[in-house]
Amino acid sequence: MRTTSLALSLAALLLLQGSGAGFAAENGGYRVGDRLQSRAARKDAKAHYQEIGWNALIPEGWDPAAAFRNIDFSRLSDADPRASNALDALRKAWDEAPVEPGWNGQRVRLPGFVVPLERRGEQVTEFLLVPYFGACIHVPPPPANQIIDVFPAKPVKNLRTMDAVWVVGVLETLRSQPKTDSDHRMGMGTAGYRMKAERIEPYKER
Amino acid sequence: MSPWLALAARSAWNRRLTLGLTLAAVSLSVALLLGVERLRHDARESFALSVSGTDLVVGARTSPVQLMLYAVFRIGEATNNIRWNAYRAIAADPAIAWTIPISLGDSHRGYPVLGTTPDYFAHFRYGNARPLAFSAGRRFDGVFDAVLGADVADKLGYRIGDRIVLSHGIGGVGLPEHADKPFSVVGILARTGTPVDRTVHVSLEAITAIHLDWQGGAPVPGFSIPAQYVRKFDLAPKEITAALIGLKSRAAVFRVQRAVNDYAGEPLLAVLPGVALDQLWDVVGIAEKTLLAVSAMVVAVGLTGLVAVVLAGLNERRRELAILRSVGARPRGIFLLLSIEGLCVTALGSVLGVVLLDALTLLARPFAQSAYGLAIRPQLVSLRELRLLAAVIAVGLLASLVPGYRAYRLSLADGLSPRL
Amino acid sequence: MSAAALVRIEGMRFSWPSGDAPCLDIARFEIGAGERVFLHGPSGSGKSTLLGLLGGVLAPERGSIRFLGEELTRLRPAARDRFRADHVGIIFQQFNLIPYLSALDNVLLPSRFSARRARLASASGGSCVNEAARLLDHLDLDEALRRRPAVHLSVGQQQRVAAARALIGRPEFVIADEPTSALDAGRQAGFLDLLLKECGAAGTALLFVSHDLRLARAFDRAIPLASLNRADARQEAA
C-alpha cells in the first residue's frame, strides 16, 4: 500500500497546485510602498522596445513636491493649517499631473503592480498599472502621470490584485476635455497614459 | 498484449456486480471532484460577469467584500444606508461620468427588490460590457411600475400588466407586506445570467412611497396613506443603500475613491469591483481549497475500495491464473491482466463521473439560477478538468499496480499448482 | 535410450527452498515421440513438482531436461513460457477452465498465446475456431454447450473441453495430472478412451499421471514415480 499512499499524495499535489497559485507568488513578499527595479531609459535594439522606469513618465520640469518647496517645516507650529493645506495642494497637483506627450506611440517595457478593472470570467481584460505596492489600499494614490490604463492584447489568466508584472506595449497619452470650470486648477483636466500590452510576464528580480 | 485486453474485459464482466459497485463509487467521487471544481469556476465566472464597466461601488462604510455582496450580487443585507445628500455631494465630482443610485431592503416572494433611477437601464453593463435589454415592455415611469428580471418573471409566471405586492425585508416568508400599494409589471428584462435576473426593479420614489406610512420600520396602526395620494408627498429619496459609479477616465479611479473614503459628512466606502472580487476570492479561496481537498480524498477512498475489491477476489482466481500459465502466459501478462482491470474501472468511472455530473447540473440548473443567480451549465470537459481527470486516472493506474503486482508474485509462487 | 526421444530428463535434482531434502531426484527418464506413458504416484509424491518442471515453470537445481533437443534449463523463464505455449498441453485434475469464457474460447486459449499453435490449428481445420469445434466434436461435447460460459458445464464435460484445449494446434506433448480423479467411475474409462484416441490421431506424446492403477492398462508404458524418484526412496529409508 505504500505505492497507493504515494500516489495519493501525488494526486493531492497535482490538484492543489493549480488552484491557488497567482501569476506571481503570494504578494511576492512585497511591503507597502515597495517599488520594482528596472534599468532606466535603455534602448534594447533587438527587441524594438525601450525599457524604462516610472520616473521616465514624468515630464521634465514637473516637480511632484512643488507644493512643499516653499514651506520651511521647522518654522511651523504643531497642527499648523498650512501644513495640511500644503498636503491638500500636493494631492491636487498630483491629481492633475501632466503627461509627457513624447511617449505617445512609443513601445516600452516597464514593471509595476496590477489593479484589475475588467474581467471576463477568470481572466483580466483591463487593469491599471501602478508603480508601488499597495497603491490603492493604504497609501495615497500615485500622481496621474504614474498610472497606466493597460489593455492586454489577450485576456490574462491568474492575474490578481498587486501582482508584480512586466508589461511590454505601446504607450498612448490621453488628454481629456479641458474643464470649463472657472476654477484655475482645472486647467489640464484628467489626462493619463494608456497602453496596449503585447506581453505581460511575472516580475522576477534580476 | 492482445489476449490480455479481451481476457480482462471478460473477467471484469464476470464480476460485474462487485466491480460495478466500485465503478459507481469511482464515478460518484469523480463527479464530486469535477463538480466542486466546476462550481468554483462557474461561480467566479458568474460573479465576474455581474459587473462590467463600473469603476467604483460606493456604500456605507463596511468591508469591501460585504459591500460587493449586497450591492452587486444582492446576497445578504446592507449594514447601513447612505444619506441622499452625501450621495449628491459625491456624485458632483467632475471626474464622474454617470452614477446609478440603488436602494435595497425589500423583497418579493424571496426575490430582492431594487429601487433605482432610469440611469440603471442606460448605464448598467454586465458580462462583456453588454447593456440590459428588454424581452418585453419598457422601463418604469410611474411610481408603482416594476421591471422584472428574467427569472422572477419565469419562475413566478408574471406577464406585463400583472400586479405584485412587495414585502418589507429580505427573506422567504412571514414578512410584512406593503399590501395596500401593489405594483404593476411594465417590463421584463432579457436573461443576463447574473443577479439581475432575480431582481425586481422599481423606482427610488416607489421605495419612498411604500414606506411613507411605515415610519419606524413597521406599519403604524390606524394610519395609512392610500396609494393614490402618495404623489402628493415629496417622494425624493432620503437615503440609498449604494451607488454604482462610472468615470470619464479610469486612471482617475484612485483619486475619486480616496475622495469618497475621505468624505467628511458620512462614513463611506468606495471599492474597485475588480479588487474587491480578488478579496472575495481570497476569503472564499480557503473554503474552496478545503472542498477540493475533501473531494480528492473521496476519490482516493473510491480508488482504495476498487483496489480492495480486486485484491479480495485475487485468492479465488489463483486457479485461473494457473490455467493461464499452463497455456503459456507469462507472469508479466498476469500482472497486466490485473492492472488493466483496475485501470479500466478507473477510466470508465471517470467518464461516467463526467456524464453523471452533467446530468446533475441539468437538474440543478434552474434552482441555482433562481436561488443564487448562479449560472451553471453542462459543458464539455475543460482543459483544467482534463488535468484533474488525468490525475485521477494516473492515481487509479498506480493503485491498480498493487493487485497486479500481488497477482504476479502469487503466480510465480504457485506455478501450475496453486496451494489452495 | 533412443536418439529420437521427445523428452529426456537426466540427473535432475529439485528441492523446494524451504525443504532441506530434495523433493525430486531423477537419474534418467525418457519419453519418446508419440509415446503414451502412465506414471503412477500417490498425492504428495512430487508429481506436481514434476509437472512444474516439465512445464517449464520450475527450474531444477541440477541436471538437464531436454525437450525436442532444446535444453530447458538453459532457457530464461520467458523463453520457457514460450516453449510451453508452443509445444505442451496441460490437463489438470479439476477446475481446468476459465469460468467466464465459453468452452470454445477456453479451447482457443493456447492459440492466443502461441503463434505456432494458431498456425497449425488453422492449417488443420481451416481456422482456429473450426479446429476447436472439430476437437470438441471428437471429444463428444454437445454443440449447444460450446458457447455457454464454462461454469455451466458438468465436471465430465469440463474435462473433455480441457483435453481439447490441450490438443489444439498439435503440441508434441500433453501432460495430464490426474484428469480422471474428479470424474465418477463410469465416466473415467470413457474420458481415457477419447483422450488416447485423439493423442494417437495427432501423434502427441502423453504423460498421464494418476494414482489409479486400473487405468494403466491402456498405455504403452506404466512406471511408478517412486521407482524414478531416488529422493523418495531415500526418504523412506531414512
| Residue C233 within any structural domain of the chain | yes
pLDDT at B277: 87
Residues B309 and B205 in one domain: no
**Contact assignment for C48 to B417 by CB distance below 8 Å:** yes
Q: B176-217 pLDDT, tens per residue?
A: 787 778 899 999 999 988 889 889 999 998 888 887 766 666
Of A3, A4, A18, the CB nearest to B384: A18
> Would an 8 Å CB–CB cutoff place B294 in contact with chain A?
no
Residue B162 lies inside a defined structural domain of this protein: yes
For residue C214, the one-letter residue type is R
pLDDT (0 to 100) of residue A27: 53
Average pLDDT, chain B: 87
- Within 10 angstroms of residue C70's Cβ, the number of other Cβ atoms is 13
How many domains does chain C divide into? Answer: 1
Question: How far apart are the C-alpha atoms of B230 and B212, rounded to whole Å?
Answer: 8
Tens-digit pLDDT profile for residues C197-219: 888 888 899 999 888 888 888 89
Give chain A's mean pLDDT. 73
Q: Which of C4, C55, C63, C7 is nearest to C31 (CA)?
A: C7
Which of B246, B271, B296 marks a domain boundary? B271
My answer on whether B60 and B121 are in the same domain is yes
Chain B residues with CB inside 8 Å of C81's CB?
A: 325, 328-330
For chain C, give the longest Cα–Cα distance. Answer: 57
User: Tens digit of pLDDT for each residue in C168-179?
Assistant: 988 999 999 888
Q: How many CB atoms lie within 10 A of CB B10?
A: 15
Contact B329 C81 (CB under 8 A): yes
Higher pLDDT, A184 or B314: B314
Per-residue pLDDT at C233 = 56
- pLDDT single digits (tens) B213-256: 666 666 667 667 777 776 777 778 888 999 999 998 888 888 89
Torsion of CA B301, B306, B308, B311, to 10 degrees: -160
B115 and B143 share a domain? yes
**Cβ separation B11–C52 shorter than 8 A:** no
Which residues contact residue C71 at a Cβ distance below 8 angstroms, ignoring those fewer than 6 apart? Answer: C64, C65
The residue segments making up the domain with residue B88 are 56-271
Domain end point (choices B224, B246, B271): B271
Instruction: For residues B11 and B72, state if they share a domain.
Output: no
Q: What is the pLDDT of residue C162?
A: 92
What is the rounded CA–CA span in Å between residue B181 and residue A166? 58
DSSP state of A50: E
ipTM of the complex: 0.89
- Cβ neighbours for A180, distance < 8 A, ≥ 6 positions apart: none
Q: Clarify whether residues B249 and B267 are in a common domain.
A: yes
DSSP codes joined into one string, A124-163: EEEEEEESBTTTTTTSPPPPGGG-EEEEESSPEES--TT-
Mapping DSSP to helix (H, G, I), strand (E, B) and coil, where does residue B332 land?
helix
Contact at CB, A14 and B387, closer than 8 angstroms: yes
Provide, for chain C, the percentages of residues in helix, strand and coil under a 3-state DSSP scheme, each rounded to the nearest 5.
45, 25, 30
Q: Do C52 and B330 touch (CB under 8 A)?
A: no
Asked which of A74-83, B11-20, C56-65 is least confident by mean pLDDT, the reply is A74-83
- One domain for residues B267 and B302: no
Q: Quick check: is C19 in a domain?
A: no
> Is residue B171 very low, low, confident or very high in pLDDT (cuts 50, 70, 90)?
low
The answer as to whether C175 is a domain residue is: yes
- What's C225's domain CATH number? 3.40.50.300
Is residue B36 located within the same domain as residue B75? Answer: no
- Same domain for B253 and B364? no
pTM value is: 0.74
Higher pLDDT, A62 or B349: B349
B326 shares a domain with B178: no
Q: How far is CA B175 from CA B71, B172, B204, B211, in A?
A: 21, 8, 21, 14
Range of the domain at C99: 33-59+76-237
- Which residues from chain B sit within 8 angstroms of residue C101, using beta carbons? 10
User: Is residue B342's pLDDT more than 60?
Assistant: yes
Domains of chain A are: 23-62+97-202 (2.40.50.870)
**Percent helix, strand and coil across chain A, each rounded to 5?**
30, 30, 40
Q: Is residue C45 part of a domain?
A: yes
Co-location of B249 and B293 in the same domain: no
Residue B41: list chain A partners with CB under 8 A. Answer: 122
Pair B197, B305 in one domain = no
How many domains, chain B? 2
CA distance B116 to B103: 6
B149: number of Cβ within 10 Å: 27
